[in-house]
Amino acid sequence: MTTTDTPLEPWQWPEEQWRGIVGHVRAGRSYRPASWPGGKRCAVALSFDSDHETNELREGGKSIGRLSWGQYGNRVGVPRILKLLARYDVKATFYVPAVAALLYEDEQRRVVAEGHEIGIHGWIHELNSVLPYEAERDLMFRSTDTLERITGVRPVGLRTPSWDFSPSTLKIETELGLQYDSSLMADEDCYELMLDGQGTGIVELPVEWVRDDAVYFMMHRMQSLRPYTPPADVLDIFRRDFDAAYEDGGIFQLTMHPHIITQRSRIWLLEELIRHAKSKDVWFATHAEVAAYAKANAV
Amino acid sequence: MTTTDTPLEPWQWPEEQWRGIVGHVRAGRSYRPASWPGGKRCAVALSFDSDHETNELREGGKSIGRLSWGQYGNRVGVPRILKLLARYDVKATFYVPAVAALLYEDEQRRVVAEGHEIGIHGWIHELNSVLPYEAERDLMFRSTDTLERITGVRPVGLRTPSWDFSPSTLKIETELGLQYDSSLMADEDCYELMLDGQGTGIVELPVEWVRDDAVYFMMHRMQSLRPYTPPADVLDIFRRDFDAAYEDGGIFQLTMHPHIITQRSRIWLLEELIRHAKSKDVWFATHAEVAAYAKANAV
Amino acid sequence: MTTTDTPLEPWQWPEEQWRGIVGHVRAGRSYRPASWPGGKRCAVALSFDSDHETNELREGGKSIGRLSWGQYGNRVGVPRILKLLARYDVKATFYVPAVAALLYEDEQRRVVAEGHEIGIHGWIHELNSVLPYEAERDLMFRSTDTLERITGVRPVGLRTPSWDFSPSTLKIETELGLQYDSSLMADEDCYELMLDGQGTGIVELPVEWVRDDAVYFMMHRMQSLRPYTPPADVLDIFRRDFDAAYEDGGIFQLTMHPHIITQRSRIWLLEELIRHAKSKDVWFATHAEVAAYAKANAV
Amino acid sequence: MTTTDTPLEPWQWPEEQWRGIVGHVRAGRSYRPASWPGGKRCAVALSFDSDHETNELREGGKSIGRLSWGQYGNRVGVPRILKLLARYDVKATFYVPAVAALLYEDEQRRVVAEGHEIGIHGWIHELNSVLPYEAERDLMFRSTDTLERITGVRPVGLRTPSWDFSPSTLKIETELGLQYDSSLMADEDCYELMLDGQGTGIVELPVEWVRDDAVYFMMHRMQSLRPYTPPADVLDIFRRDFDAAYEDGGIFQLTMHPHIITQRSRIWLLEELIRHAKSKDVWFATHAEVAAYAKANAV
């Protein structure tokens, strides 16, 4: 191959280039247990990304209307979620950017006091893939320390903001000594994350856009995003996903956002979903618990 | 932190910067009454943004097709709304840009004569956040004076066009001596607007995209916006929001647009919603009435 | 007002500027008849925009896939429509860009031979609003002559391509001596088009995006347009529009596209709609017939 | 026509220019058989585009999250599809970019071993229309050779990546000696592809966006694409298409993607569709089989 000054187009890439890109971060062995604790048939892992004002701060913080959504998340959203989880005695995981945690320290302490997990979600919901390694590492360590200082518990898992996993993210996760990540989509079961072909021991608890409330309900005036899908249909999608996960003996994992799912026209669907799952033989658990159990009991 | 010539990225901001942005305009104390006038359980606040031709004028007025939507709003839309409101004896609030009011002075007088409220909605539906303070202030004062001159009633509330609340908007609202604003989303109940940590006494009657007809039904050929959500599903969303507000003893607030909601395939959903609400123990009122009552009777 | 070198923003415009824009093309008197021919209660005006390959030619003709949609329109679409219209003995109007008519001359002759109307739809589906007056005028006259030469009938009405009505369009329509236009949206009933405050005698038979199949079903890979709305819901929208038009004694007008509405998963909804309308007391007619009757019998 | 330095706008094109563009690649004679093998009434041609990581590699391979979708396609998607097809004894066609085949050679061998067809789908899912002829030709030949080397079977058909058919594609298909293409949309029945007015003998087995799962379900964070249409409604669309194809004695052709259709909330709709089709008098076959039969038995 001749060296040129202009970058090659993907269709011109030599094999080592595309193999290198594909092989950098990879799903390795499956961490799938024969059954879940107490012989339960299915694990249910609910999560809430408490982004609050960082949703707008990360874009420069220019819209006061969108900032008010952040306060709604703290004022209405998280309390409504905690009340619902308590009513059904369900534990869940909250991923909180450090800046959101600093704005609402009491909220984080209440979340932990009620038995839920708090995981890392970046500093100010920044996109990792545009950061140099040093900056991403620094923000990630500071975020972890900040959450620990506020809640008294050191986080063991990371959800990258916007599921934007950079080429450095996995290396930083190993440096931080994390137990799990929840940002990627290579499987429905947990799996080991591989870095350039080497196992890291870090568990991936996979997410999927199809199981994210923002996908159907997000509104962004300037980005042509609209909440076009009716809530009843979103419930149908989530319920079908749960039913198939249950049939399969797997994990039903869900990502939600306080200012989105708690709207009065939507919160009922989460309650309906929890009631439906509770009528079956399932184990509700935090993402950390699911990841740890899956790894320890993989068959 | 070293001073640089290039602006910092949000993830580089010092704490005082993001705290300053978040704390500038803020929800303060809740204005939530124990019950509504006459012991009613729920307040219903319907609003219509009579933008008419300003919807296109604000973008330069180049599309004659979109301008014809404006005339439809006056010729078909507002009369159809007034007829429906009269049939069910319901009062509502119309937010009208000054230019739209000047184009259709009789319409505004009829709206007021039939007992409805007219609120401020900018001069020509401009985006406040791109204006200097002086321009925004001048337009807001002129808009208020214009509405008063036409209708004989001085408006007491503002809905920012496109809910685009600038860093100067709240200060100007205090200078105008307004009683309430209806552009922000930090709660479902009314609350006091705080400016840099100080109470202003101005009531926010919160809006939400989820309760706006344009979100589901707006068509813009050049912006990839399409009315993808079926009207029957929009009714389901609105009805669920109302039912939960009723259950909660709160406010059901709705934002509509004359040229959107009065289409023959949609107006039925507003009638159905009004009939549904009227079958319950509710108080229909203008935004000004709801805001005033909420503030005076907050518990 | 001081003269400046930079154009004024809309919120800086003097009153004569926005009044001039709004008043240039305008709905005047209503052309609403007391009833329809034979005492029928409602007029049904179906239309099909036979754009065929001009849909892609107008954008430079680069996509062979999108060009093949054009041939589908001729090969499958129009014959399927004609067969359906014949089965129910319904007349309709086809708007055909001159280039599409030149590509498929036999199709146009068959459409006319089967009793339908052909109207003007531009030369190559160009956007009028970016053309200088001379070019728009030349294309419009040539398009009219071309359609007349092919079909033997001189068109009497125009639908602007993409409903893109330029500041010159109405003047050119008067120069062409047209009887009606069907591109604007200021009412649900027919009305007289006013040019700078003067009546033109040209009838507008109004369209609306809500009654256009492309709005719900168009796919454009590069423009984020997707056919997100299910056909059964589109039928519900159209049927509600018809039912209200019937109740109101007005016009049910519909815009469709051969390569969109005739897909096997969609054509049934048009048949269903026709059957529904035929079960009522309605008058199916071409746009030219509806416009002429409305004008002649306006009350 | 005067020669100018700036390119002409489409509305300025001389007739030979637009006729040349339209006539370059064209549907010729219809290849429609009187009935299908064994006298079956309808042919069912299911296809899966196994793009895997090329979906992101072709855009530069920057998103690790989107790359993980590729691995999901291999790890979960294709096995789930093969299991479903085996359960119902249905043969289908998989279109595989060469790079995806090289990443997952075993997958391709299993697909072929289970009786399915593998067709060409570009090298790295490149857009053909931006390539010079030589590059497109080289990639197409190398892709064909690669698939043959891996599977032992030389492909006889091509689906252009993203259905992006370049002005050179058909010529290259003749040079490759292909039997059929499946990228264009000029009919519902098979037809002969014409190159500049000359028959090529190559069969087109038409696709349509309306019968593509990605249209309704694709998620792309940066392109405003969201899976807004509920799976139950997508099933309704596909079933109506099948029912009409069956009624018509034609072909029901469907395009799907392993990482999209196999999501737990969606795979049921494919099973439902297969069960529905199997309850009728249909012939399930690969695209190659359908194309060959249609050509040989055209009436």
What is the band of D3 on the pLDDT scale with cuts at 50, 70, 90?
low
pLDDT digits (tens, 9 = 90+) for C150-183: 999 999 999 999 999 999 999 999 999 999 999 9
> What local confidence, expressed as pLDDT, does residue B175 receive?
98
pLDDT per residue as tens digits for the range A22-35: 999 999 999 999 99
Partner residue facing D186 (CB), from C75, C102, C221:
C75
Taking one residue from A and the other from D, the number of pairs with CB-CB distance under 8 angstroms is 122
CA angle B272, B275, B281 (to 5 degrees): 140
What is the mean pLDDT of the segment spanning C65-86?
A: 98
| Residues sharing a CB contact under 8 Å with residue B4, sequence separation 6 or more, in sequence order | none
Closest CA relative to residue D176, chosen from D144, D149, D153 = D144
Cα atoms in the Cβ-side hemisphere of radius 13 Å centred on A42 = 23
The amino acid sitting at B280 is K
Structural domains in chain B?
Answer: 28-296 (3.20.20.370)
In whole angstroms, give the CA distance from residue B299 to residue A163. 42
Per-residue pLDDT at B1: 42
- B-chain CB neighbours of A75 within 8 Å are 27, 186-187
**pLDDT, tens digit, for every residue of B57-74?**
999 999 999 999 999 999
Give A77's Cβ-side CA count (13 Å radius). Answer: 25
**3-state class of B224 per DSSP?**
coil
pLDDT mean over D189-194 = 98
Report the pLDDT value the prediction gives residue B3, as an integer from 0 to 100: 52
Chain A: closest CA distance from residue B106 (Å)? 32
DSSP, collapsed to helix, strand or coil, labels residue C43 as strand
Q: Tell me: the pLDDT tens digits for B234-271?
A: 999 999 999 999 999 999 999 999 999 999 999 999 99
Per-residue pLDDT of A93-113, as tens digits, reads: 999 999 999 999 999 999 999
In the numeric block, the tokens 């339908």 are attached to C116
User: Does residue C287 carry a pLDDT above 70?
Assistant: yes
Contact check, Cβ <8 Å, B227/C241: no
Nearest to B216 among A53, A221, A228 (CB): A228
- SS3 state at A188: coil
Query: Residue B189 corresponds to which amino acid?
Result: D
Q: How many CA atoms lie within 13 A of D92 on its CB side?
A: 28
Which residue on chain C is closest to D29 by alpha carbon? Answer: C75
Radius of gyration of chain C (CA): 19
Inter-chain CB proximity B241 and A264 less than 8 Å? yes
Give strand pairing partners of D204: D181, D191
Q: Which residue in B16, B79, B8 sits closest to B259, CA to CA?
A: B79
Using an 8 Å Cβ cutoff, are A285 and A45 in contact?
yes
Distance CA A65, CA B25 (A): 10
Instruction: Give D85-88's long-range contacts (Cβ < 8 A, gap of 24+).
Output: D85/D46, D85/D114, D85/D116, D86/D114, D88/D271, D88/D274, D88/D275, D88/D278
**Residue from C64, C130, C218 to probe the interface with D (highest D Cβ count within 10 Å):** C64
**Test mutation, A185, A213, A216, A224, chain D, max D CBs within 10 A:** A185
Distance CA D79, CA B43 (A): 55
Chain B residues with CB under 8 Å of A266 CB are 210
User: Which of D34 and B1 is assigned the larger pLDDT?
Assistant: D34
Q: Is the per-residue pLDDT at B217 higher than 80?
A: yes
User: Per-residue pLDDT averaged across D247-263, rounded?
Assistant: 98
Q: Which chain C residues are within 8 Å of D28, Cβ to Cβ? A: none
On the 0-12 / 13-18 / 19+ scale of CB atoms within 10 A, D182 is buried
Q: What's phi and psi for D73, nearest 5 deg? A: -55, -40
pLDDT at A1 over 90: no
H/E stretch holding A134: helix A133-151
Q: What is the reported pLDDT for A5?
A: 67
Alpha carbons C210 and D122: distance in angstroms, whole number: 40
CA–CA dist C98, C108 (Å, integer): 10
| Residue A297 CB partners (closer than 8 Å, separation 6+) | A33, A34
CB neighbour class for C290 (10 Å; exposed up to 12, middle 13-18, buried from 19): buried
What's the pLDDT tens digit per position in D63-75? Answer: 999 999 999 999 9
Residue environment code for B250-277, b if the CB has 16+ CB neighbours within 10 A, otherwise e: bbbbbbbbbbbbbbbbbbebbeebbebb
CA distance B268 to B291: 28
Residues from chain D that touch C99, judged by Cβ atoms under 8 A, are 18
Residue B170 C-alpha, separation from nearest chain A C-alpha, in angstroms: 11
Residues recorded for chain B:
299
What does chain D come to in residues? Answer: 299
* pLDDT of res. D223: 86
Contact (CB<8Å) A61/B164: no
In the structure, what pLDDT confidence band is assigned to residue A242 with cuts at 50, 70 and 90? very high
Cβ pairs bridging A and B (under 8 Å): 123
Q: What is the pLDDT of residues D16-32, one digit of tens each?
A: 999 999 999 999 999 99
Nearest to C60 among D10, D19, D237 (CB): D10
The shortest C-alpha distance from A248 to chain B (Å) reads 32
> D126 and A10 in contact by Cβ < 8 A?
yes
Mutate to test the interface with C, among D11, D166, D255 (most CBs of C within 10 A): D11
* pLDDT number for residue D289: 98
Q: Which two tokens stand for residue C3?
A: 């003269």
Interface test with B, best of C9, C13, C22 (most B CBs within 10 A): C22
Q: What percent of chain C has pLDDT over 70?
A: 98
- D10 contacts C61? CB cut-off 8 A: yes
Lowest mean pLDDT across A281-290, B190-199, B220-229: B220-229
Q: What percent of chain A has pLDDT over 90?
A: 96
Question: CA B70, CA D249: separation in Å to the nearest integer?
Answer: 49
| Shortest alpha-carbon distance between residue A155 and chain B (Å) | 20
Report in angstroms the alpha-carbon separations of B14 from A137, B10, B26, C262. Answer: 18, 9, 20, 59
A3: pLDDT strictly greater than 60:
no
**pLDDT of A244 over the 60 cut:** yes
Q: What is the pLDDT of residues D197-228, one digit of tens each?
A: 999 999 999 999 999 999 999 999 888 899 99
Q: What is the ipTM of this complex?
A: 0.96
Closest partner CB to A231 (pick from B224, B237, B245): B237
**What confidence category does residue C6 fall into, taking pLDDT thresholds of 50, 70 and 90?**
confident
Backbone Cα Rg of chain A: 19
At residue C1 the predicted structure's pLDDT band, cuts being 50, 70 and 90, is: very low
Query: How would residue A271 be classed by pLDDT, with cut points 50, 70 and 90?
Result: very high
Give the model's confidence band at C51: pLDDT under 50 very low, under 70 low, under 90 confident, else very high.
very high
User: CA-to-CA distance for C250 and C273, rounded, in angstroms?
Assistant: 17
C186 and B75 in contact (C-beta within 8 Å)? yes
Is B228 in contact with A231 (Cβ distance < 8 A)?
A: no
Tell me what pLDDT residue B229 has: 98
Coil, strand or helix at C125 = coil
Q: What's the CA gap between D136 and D165, in Å, rounded?
A: 11
Q: Residue D213: helix, strand or coil by DSSP?
A: helix
**Within chain A, what is the greatest distance between any pair of CA atoms?**
66
CA–CA dist C258, C281 (Å, integer): 27
The widest CA-to-CA distance across chain D, in whole angstroms, is 66
CB–CB of C167 and B231 under 8 A?
A: no
Go through C212-244 and write b for each residue having 16 or more CB atoms within 10 A of its CB, e for each that does not. bbbbbbbbebeeebbbbbbbebbbbbbbbbbbb
**Residue of chain A with shortest Cα separation from B225:** A224
Cβ of A227 within 8 Å of Cβ of B208? The answer is: no
CB contact under 8 A, A186 and D72: yes
Query: Tokens 């056919």 correspond to what residue?
Result: C227
Q: How far apart are CA A69 and CA B187, in angstroms?
A: 8
Task: Return the residue of C nearest to D26 by Cα.
Answer: C68
Beta bridge partners of A96: A120
Q: What is the mean pLDDT of residues D129-154?
A: 98
pLDDT at A213 over 50: yes
A162, A58, C145: which is closest to B11 by C-alpha? A58
Give the closest residue to C158 by CA, choosing from C118, C127, C114: C118
Q: From the CA of C87, how many Å to the nearest CA of chain B?
A: 27
| Greatest pairwise CA separation for chain C in angstroms | 66
Min Cα separation D116/chain C (Å)? 26
**pLDDT given at position B265:** 98
- Over 50: is that where the pLDDT of A167 sits? yes
Q: Is B244's CB within 8 Å of A267's CB?
A: yes
**pLDDT attached to residue D1:** 42
Could you read off the pLDDT of B154-181 as tens digits, one per residue?
A: 999 999 999 999 999 999 999 999 999 9
Strand partners, A36: A40
Which of B45, B46, B111 lies closest to B73 in space, CA to CA? B111
Other Cβ atoms less than 10 A from the Cβ of A221: the count is 18
8 A C-beta contact, residue A168 and residue A136: yes
Query: What letter represents residue A254's amino acid?
Result: L
Q: Dig out the tokens for B20 from the structure.
A: 């300053």
Q: Which residues of D touch A (CB under 8 A)?
A: 53, 57-65, 67-72, 75-76, 99, 102-103, 123-124, 126, 131, 135, 139, 217, 219, 221, 224, 226-233, 263-268
Helix (H, G, I), strand (E, B) or coil at A191: strand
B8 contact partners, CB below 8 Å, separation of at least 6 = B17
Residue type (1 letter), D269 = L
* Residue B248 burial (C-beta neighbours within 10 Å; 0-12, 13-18, 19+): middle
Cβ of B232 within 8 Å of Cβ of C228? The answer is no
- What's the mean per-residue pLDDT of chain D? 97
Identify from D226, D233, D270 which residue to disrupt to test chain A contact, counting A C-beta atoms within 10 A and taking the largest count.
Answer: D226
